Amino acid sequence: MSEAPETRTLVDADGVTIWYYVWAAEDPRGIVHIAHGAGEHAGRYAALAADLNGAGFAVIADDHRGHGATGENHLGLGRLGDGTTRGAIRSVLHVGQAIADAYPGVPIVLLGHSWGSLMAQRIVTREHPYSALVLSGTSLAVPGVINAGDLNKRWRTPGSTGLEWLSRDPTVGAAFAKDPRAFDIAQQPVWTAIQAFAFLGRPPRRMPRDLPVLIQGGSDDPLGGTRGMRLLRDAYVKRSRLSDVTLQVYEGARHEIYKETNRDEIVADLIAWLDARVPR
């Protein structure tokens, strides 16, 4: 097991160099590909990667277009470039395909958080290399359900930082504010309303019905909250007719559940779910 990730790059189908990171595990039983949210980067998942390494999984996380090292070495943070949101989705899938090539026969789990979860919802509707799907900080991605407004509205006071929506742990927002590779999308939008259509929509009626799906999130997540997650679960069960869909809602938790005050409980639930579907 490696403590620091190995940094790698690949060039996607549009010629953009994508930076990604490998937290290795000896003889891994599976690979977890993490797709991060908007305004952040793969390095913020180091603690979760360590937990997953301890459970026997290698972890690979990429910096999406306009984010982290990928953004810094391309057009800058917040700038997705050609193809905008659709190009970013293609890049994530390109990384997934590279993982499959590098680890033939090893199950790959796609874990998407926030924007990453919305991209993941689209990725699994096409040909993909994933054996299971985990969605956190997510929602059914349709207008009227997903929040496209002020995500910090509930906590907005004269002394608020604008980042209280991330977690009940105030150190999470403070660390985000100090992170040179993180930025508040309320201050620096990544896409326009038209570009957002790339990741909006209901799960399709036709999907491979044996894809296991885990939806984890906080009841106080302003992106969609309990309602948005329940509607997403119901869409996968009733519309797509998937046979294995699990919803876990944590009372009082906010958006970044793997950085919440009860993260140990949430990560343990994640690993237990993985244990049942990717045997040790």
Note down the domain range covering 15.
6-277
pLDDT at 280: 84
pLDDT in tens, the chain (280 residues): 447 899 999 999 999 999 999 999 999 999 999 999 999 999 999 999 999 999 999 999 999 999 999 999 999 999 999 999 999 999 999 999 999 999 999 999 999 999 999 999 999 999 999 999 999 999 999 999 999 999 999 999 999 999 999 999 999 999 999 999 999 999 999 999 999 999 999 999 999 999 999 999 999 999 999 999 999 999 999 999 999 999 999 999 999 999 999 999 999 999 999 999 998 8
Q: Is residue 1 part of a domain?
A: no
Q: What is the count of structural domains for the chain?
A: 1
CB atoms within 10 A of CB 100: 17
* Domain at 19, CATH number: 3.40.50.1820
CB atoms within 10 A of CB 143: 9
Max CA-CA distance within the chain?
54
The set of residues, in sequence order, having a beta carbon less than 8 Å from that of 224 and lying 6+ positions away, is 138, 139, 140, 145, 146, 147, 217, 231, 232
Whether the model pTM is above 0.95? yes
Q: Is residue 65 part of a domain?
A: yes
